[in-house]
Chains A and B, each alone.
Chain A
Amino acid sequence: KQEVTQIPAALSVPEGENLVLNCSFTDSAIYNLQWFRQDPGKGLTSLLLIQSSQREQTSGRLNASLDKSSGRSTLYIAASQPGDSATYLCAVGTYNQGGKLIFGQGTELSVKP
């Protein structure tokens, strides 16, 4: 059974810092891995989708990497801004679970001005 863990659970940084959010998963037989952002009381916004054959994806100040063999992904945020404050969720689609996305519990990020 796939399990997804995100560390840390919460993170507070000053504006301008570069930061890394971590995601680990137990079953490496995955279709893909997706990073989402969730603002308080809102739905999920897709940030980056990495297919199992890919090593990384980039969008603006965001870069996500995938290492299937070690069961890890990182989300790198460059030059953080107060508007980046949100909960970041990692989710994996796993072959032996019908491809459904299994989520981690999220990292709550606070960027202080």
Chain B
Amino acid sequence: EAGVAQSPRYKIIEKRQSVAFWCNPISGHATLYWYQQILGQGPKLLIQFQNNGVVDDSQLPKDRFSAERLKGVDSTLKIQPAKLEDSAVYLCASSADRTGGYTFGSGTRLTVV
């Protein structure tokens, strides 16, 4: 079974620029999550999709972050404009259902300078 694919692996941008991350979950997994992990901390959920609908985006900074999951498969997370404090690893995960185990991708390390 193929894992969760994420790209790019690394990204360096200047503040106020925009950036987008892509995630392809495990085939058949209905639930997709985007987490933000700041250095030295545990991951924090940004947004949760069930198929192509948003279940929870309560911790997503909606003035600058947006996410979509078209056709209930791939997902894109965008930041515009980026701030220095957005420097973090952005992790995508998927699960078959809410009670199942999560599988994480390798993450995208974002550095905002």
Contacts and interface: CB of A to CB of B under 8 A. Distances in A.
Interface of A: 4, 31-32, 34, 36, 41-46, 49, 51, 89, 91, 93, 98-106
Contacts of A41: 109
A98 B45 CA distance: 12
B44 A101 contact: no
B91 A101 contact: no
Nearest to B56: A98
B98 A42 contact: no
Contact of A99 (B98, B106, B107): B98
Contact of A100 (B33, B91, B105): B33
B103 A46 contact: yes
Main secondary structure of the interface of A (DSSP, over half): strand
Nearest to A6: B42
Interface in B52-89: 55-56
A44 B103 CA distance: 8
Interface string B14-52: 000000000000000000010000001111110010000
Given A42-B106, A100-B33, A93 B42 contact: no
B42 A105 contact: yes
A43 B93 CA distance: 10
A41 B39 CA distance: 10
Given A42-B106, A46-B103, A98-B55, 8 more contacts: A34-B101, A42-B107, A43-B6, A43-B106, A49-B101, A91-B42, A98-B98, A105-B42
Contacts of B42: 4, 89, 91, 103-106
B55 A43 contact: no
B102 A101 contact: yes
Nearest to A98: B56
A11 B107 CA distance: 25
A100 B99 contact: no
A45 B106 CA distance: 9
Given A31-B98, A49-B101, A43 B41 contact: no
